[in-house]
Structure 1
């Protein structure tokens, strides 16, 4: 419940900010300098500095209203569909819902319409539907909805914050960062794939990653890559350590799968189990590619994380973590930590101390 409220609050904040800016831009695009145009009648109370300020305040209020309405519509829509419909239908249905909400609000609250169109309206509110200015405003809002949806989709495609970093060119030149990586892989994947067949197996992976995505935002993780039945997750170092996010995400994912054990058993005949390897430290981050641009991480940290995860079968534990990382974590009372020894990982010249963590 708290997580759902957090999701809605975040969406509400983004929506209100976007639509407040969109409404202010609308006023600039359409009405800047209108009082100097010959033959155009403007509302007297909007003349002068105080009039403009009054008008801008009203527009900001309208932006907040639209932001709240659209955030609520989008949140309810996402809860109902669970993001399980195709992208094209998602955009079309979402835009139609935005259109209907805008249409209803503008016809019921005439003052909103008259503020946006900079005109008087002394007749019944339904009259707005036959006004060209009404449809001009609707067209602008529909276009702005597409822009907002595009930004939202791009942010989901590239990962939280990555799209903005690409736009700003933050990683055009390699940058050093300190991060934590988790390599999360399906156990006994070959056996399960042979049993289920490629179609059913693909559905299983899809369901598992859907459940994983439900716990990722709660623990401030970023999904770096999906590679077959493996996922690579990442945290800025401090965010990964905070509240033991990098460890608690794994147990939250396990708990979610166990809560849906009946579903997995009925559909696939197996409850999927995952193994994970964790390591952290400094590495380089840079933007790569032209046709398919993305942010890439280069360095020993990411390779070591993958090698540690590869030792899970050897030690027969679901979670392994490097000694370097565990020293920076604050192990809480509900977790137990066990040192397993030193191992010479493939490609390494020095042995790495590894531990396992279990939930009490």
Structure 2
């Protein structure tokens, strides 16, 4: 499946569920039991509209529509606008546009109800500024929109599964997990940095990592950290070996860069080439920090992965993988491997068997 389409569909189902749930909660707070309230006088033409089940049905429909539109706006901003402006401005513009669209949807909804029930509901231009009864709903939707944006930022920062585990405090004490780590580093970074100077070089690296991010979703990769011109990816072990995700992601990144070779050469005079090392095994993961909370991974797997990547220069190859991880994979024929032997990686006492991989 196309990476952009998969990314949009992921955002879409989350948005639809969120807005259906958010509007459902509002209806419960606002209308539950209202039709049975003693002493409440309801005009005859509105009696059919006060039914809780009827209002809940309308809110579910509006929630689906809002979810679809908000997801589309969010996706558009993420792909076109967010790269060019700050996160704060992006959130402000995005939610302002969503607010205007919400008013348009409510106007259409109230006009439809007015026609079906043959009752007079004011939907003239600026009606929402005059009808104070709708203000609580608009404020609730606006606040919910910001809440959804912040939840999305948190999910992107930690990954959906990891974020939920942090919420329930799973990593308050260290936990052992099996994970795969891939270190990806820019080749000849020192020479490129000297030629481009620090500002242009930073833009160069920024573009490279944007391209990397654009292809990650289908391969279930999580970004652990960026360190200068190096990025560290990680997977839960089963997700990483499934469909050879921990291999395919690197060659998909290479393919993405090749598709933009002309852009890089025209803009920077350099075409970026990266090298990668990947290894997997048992690791400890825990929550660290109080001022800035984060997840930290500790263990030999990380050090080994990093040193395997650094060995790429010695063997003049772009991709190295440990034999331990290679044996755990269901391999794809288009990525042939070459056994390079047992090597004593810097800082380790035991030799590690490594293989190089190339794209056919």
Query: What is the rounded CA distance, in whole Å, between the counterparts of 1:112 and 1:276 in structure 2?
Result: 58
**Matched residue, 2:176:** 176
Counterpart Cα distance in 2 of 1:52 and 1:31: 6
Partner of residue 122, structure 1:
120
Deviation at 1:52, TM superposition (A): 2.9
Distance in 1 separating the partners of 2:303 and 2:156: 25
Verify the 8 A CA contact 1:187 1:272 in the aligned structure 2.
yes
Distance 1:282 1:230 in 2: 23
Q: Would you say the 8 A contact 1:62–1:112 is kept in 2?
A: no
* Structure 1 residue aligned with 2:139: 139
Secondary structure at the residue paired with 1:327? helix
Superposed CA RMSD in Å reads 2.2
Deviation per CA, 1:148-176: give whole Å up to 9, x if none.
11111222233443333222212112111
Task: Report whether the alignment pairs 1:341 with 2:354.
Answer: no
**Unaligned segments of structure 1, at least 5 residues:** none
For structure 2, the residue ranges without an aligned partner over 5 or more in a row are: none
Count of aligned residue pairs for this structure pair: 353
TM-score for both structures, normalised by structure 1: 0.92
Alpha-carbon deviations, 1:9-55, whole Å to 9, x = none? 111100110001101111122234444364564853467xxx43333
> Could you say which residue in structure 1 is the equivalent of 2:21?
21
Kept in 1: contact 2:279–2:322 (CA 8 A)? yes
Q: Work out the CA distance in 2 between the residues paired with 1:9 and 1:329.
A: 28
Structure 1 stretch displaced more, 83-92 or 286-295: 83-92
The structure-2 alpha-carbon separation of the partners of 1:134 and 1:57, relative to structure 1 and needing over 3 Å to count, comes to same
Please give the TM-score of this superposition, normalised by the length of structure 2.
0.92
- Matches of 1:135 and 1:112, distance apart in 2: 20
Bigger mean CA offset, 219-228 vs 69-78: 69-78
Of stretches 329-338 and 226-235 in structure 1, the one that deviates more from structure 2 is: 329-338
2:208 alignment partner in structure 1: 208
Q: Is the 8 A contact 1:19 1:67 kept in 2?
A: yes
Q: Does residue 311 in structure 1 map to residue 311 in structure 2?
A: yes
Cα drift, residue 274 of structure 1: 0.8
Deviation at 1:197, TM superposition (A): 0.8
Q: 1:166 to 1:311 in 2, by over 3 A?
A: same
The 8 Å contact of residues 323 and 353 in structure 1, kept in 2 or not, is answered as yes
* Distance in 1 of aligned mates of 2:112 and 2:295: 43
Name the counterpart of 1:148. Answer: 148
Return the alpha-carbon distance in structure 1 between the equivalents of residues 145 and 119 of structure 2: 26
3-state SS, counterpart of residue 348 of structure 2: coil
Task: Name the structure 2 match of 1:65.
Answer: 65
